[in-house]
């Protein structure tokens, strides 16, 4: 489990197709404090650490299945790409965002960008089957970042990115047409399921 509070921006150092996709990610995290088998959310995708090192910079390796690649924006990853990273939640940690599983539900697209004061309003288009789970003032995780929805119109929803979020995450470089990993709020999914059983 995660909270959607990004704690590092990593960088892809290597990508290698070996049956599964093996990826090496540079990080500010100390490898001595990471166990093999630990979960790290990378752009909102819960991935398992399979190797660690510290030369020439701190890094960890993950293996990504074809299923994960097909359901996320990982097919567009390339060497040098920056990634939002978050270590798994520990009992007693502060819950600054919302409960995030790291299991991406689908891919949304950036369809609008508009400055609002020092902030940036970004409009996303959700897949049809996920739009019903997104509500004004509700939570979503986009590329692993816990965010509050401002408004919803059909499949489109708006998020306001304050300068701090743009600085400490990859959202400072957002562009029209970007494909982003979307995880809807677990509570919204359960409420919808309960309503089906009426």
What is the pLDDT, as a whole number, of residue 198?
Answer: 63
Same fold, 8-87 and 106-197: yes
The CA distance from 25 to 119, in Å, is 29
- Kindly list the domain boundaries of the chain, sorted by start residue: 8-87, 106-197
> According to the model, what pLDDT value does residue 195 have?
74
Note the pLDDT tens digit of each residue in 16-68: 998 899 999 999 999 999 999 999 999 999 999 999 999 889 999 999 999 99
CATH class as words, domain 8-87: mainly beta
Q: Which of 89, 94, 95, 85 is nearest to 7 (CA)?
A: 85
| Distance separating alpha carbons of residues 91 and 87, to the nearest angstrom | 13
Look at the chain and count its residues: 198
Q: What is the pLDDT of residue 186?
A: 77
| Count of H-run helices and E-run strands, the chain | 4, 12
List Cα–Cα distances, 40 to 8, 36, 48, 87, in angstroms: 11, 11, 6, 5
Mean pLDDT check: name the lowest of 67-81, 92-106, 156-170.
92-106
- pLDDT of 8 reads 97
Q: What is the DSSP annotation of 113-181? A: EEEETTEEEEEEE--HHHHTT--TT-EEEETTEEEEEEEEETTEEEEEE-HHHHHHSGGGG--TT-EEE
Q: Distances from the Cα of 121 to the Cαs of 49, 152, 176, 189, 191, in angstroms?
A: 34, 13, 12, 25, 28
- The distance from CA 9 to its chain's CA centroid, rounded to whole angstroms, is 11
Does the domain formed by 106-197 have CATH 2.40.50.140? no
């Amino acid at each position: 489990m995660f909270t959607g509070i990004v704690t590092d921006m990593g960088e892809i150092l290597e990508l290698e197709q070996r049956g599964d996709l093996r990826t090496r990610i540079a990080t500010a995290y100390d490898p001595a404090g990471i166990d093999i088998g630990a979960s790290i959310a990378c752009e909102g995708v819960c991935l398992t650490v399979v190797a660690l090192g510290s030369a020439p910079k701190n890094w960890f390796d993950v293996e990504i299945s074809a299923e994960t690649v097909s359901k996320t924006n990982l097919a567009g990853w390339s060497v040098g790409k920056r990634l939002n990273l978050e270590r798994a939640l520990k009992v007693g940690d502060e819950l600054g965002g919302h409960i995030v599983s790291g299991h991406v539900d689908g891919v949304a697209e950036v369809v609008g960008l508009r400055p609002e004061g020092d902030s940036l309003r970004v409009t996303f288009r959700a897949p049809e089957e996920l739009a019903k789970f997104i509500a004004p003032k509700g939570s979503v995780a986009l590329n692993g970042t816990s965010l509050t929805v401002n408004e919803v119109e059909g499949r489109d929803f708006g998020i306001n990115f304050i300068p701090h979020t743009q600085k400490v995450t990859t959202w400072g470089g957002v562009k029209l047409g970007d494909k982003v990993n979307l995880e809807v709020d677990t509570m919204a999914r359960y409420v919808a399921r309960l309503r089906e059983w009426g």
